[in-house]
Amino acid sequence: MVPEPHPIFTDPGFAQRHAVLARGYGDRPDPGDPASVLAMPIVLHIPKSDPPDRSSLLEAAAIATVTLCLDPRVGPGPDGEPGPWQEPFLAWNDARIRKVSRRARGAQWRAAQEVPGVTVDHAGAQARALVPGPVGALDPRISRLQIGGTDVPPDSPPSPPAGVPVLWVDGTLGMTVGKAAAQVGHASMLLAGAMPLESARQWAAAGYPCAVREATPARWRELLAHVENGSAVAVKDAGFTEVAPGSVTVVAQAE
């Protein structure tokens, strides 16, 4: 019996959603009212007694971000009508991309599941990317979560699995896990947009597997050369928190 193809290969809207990422995000100036700035909240599940490995948590954040960015609800439905998340997502993607990570545990984590978004459970870690919106209109269940206190000690993961994209983090920057989660989230959506459509479909069908690893200084120099020749994509931070403006925080390679 011939297996049914993965739904993503017969989804006519995937190409349109991918095209949004392929064209890149915008640079519309920030509004005068800081409360109107648009951001994507990322909620990291960090239990007090048994926190996940840092690398697994960052991978979960990256997967959750790209999953939301290519979710059918951010594009038009089969009838051509806008999906329920399309308007806020496009408004955010056309502005200066911002993400804010917050920590949740216990009842807070369960409450976060009620706010529109996508949760990823990966290698013992969980993260939820939420539909972007104005920072001043954040759902109270999310706004009460801590932005600070999201650090998790570094771990020593094995070499990245063969054949999966790797999101290389500049470890010399000393980013907290909350800051790094936002940066690898940027990287995953930039990488998806840089992929040819059919490669992006295949990545989606596999569940967007990726590895997050810290690069040694020597490896980092090699990665920047790959960015220069177009075989990798880089995240340059605006410098609002933790790092200097223009810092390259993450380099993503498809393999």
Predicted local confidence at residue 7, as pLDDT: 85
Predicted local confidence at residue 96, as pLDDT: 83
Element (H, E) at 212: strand 211-215
For residue 246, with 0-12 CB atoms within 10 Å meaning exposed, 13-18 middle and 19 or more buried, which class applies? exposed
Predicted local confidence at residue 241, as pLDDT: 73
Element (H, E) at 14: helix 14-22
Tokens linked to 149: 């206190």
In three state form, how does the secondary structure of 217-236 look? HHHHHHHHHHHHCCCCEEEE
Question: What global pTM score does this model have?
Answer: 0.95
Question: What sign results for the dihedral spanned by CA atoms 76, 15, 192, 236?
Answer: negative
Angle made by CA atoms 74, 72, 7, in degrees to the nearest 5: 165
Predicted local confidence at residue 64, as pLDDT: 98
Please name the amino acid found at residue 223: L
Which residue, 87, 94, 96, 99, is CA-closest to 62? Answer: 99
Predicted local confidence at residue 239, as pLDDT: 65
Predicted local confidence at residue 155, as pLDDT: 93
Predicted local confidence at residue 150, as pLDDT: 62
* Residue 132 DSSP symbol: -
Predicted local confidence at residue 204, as pLDDT: 97
What is the rounded distance in angstroms from the CA atom of residue 68 to the CA atom of residue 52?
A: 22
Which residue, 175, 190, 136, 140, is CA-closest to 54? Answer: 175
Tokens linked to 122: 């990966």
CB 47 within 8 A of CB 110: no
CB-based contacts of 116, cutoff 8 Å, min separation 6: 84, 85, 130, 131
**Residue 211 — φ and ψ, nearest 5°?**
-125, 140
For 199, the 3-state DSSP assignment is helix
Task: From first to last of the 255 residues of the chain, give the pLDDT tens digit.
Answer: 656 778 888 888 999 999 999 998 877 888 889 999 999 999 999 998 889 999 999 999 999 999 999 999 999 877 788 999 999 999 999 998 899 999 999 999 999 999 999 999 999 999 999 999 999 999 999 999 998 766 788 899 999 999 999 999 999 999 999 999 999 999 999 999 999 999 999 999 999 999 999 999 999 999 999 999 999 999 998 767 778 778 999 999 997
Predicted local confidence at residue 1, as pLDDT: 60
What is the rounded distance in angstroms from the CA atom of residue 73 to the CA atom of residue 90?
A: 11
Domains in the chain with CATH codes? 7-253 (3.40.1490.10)
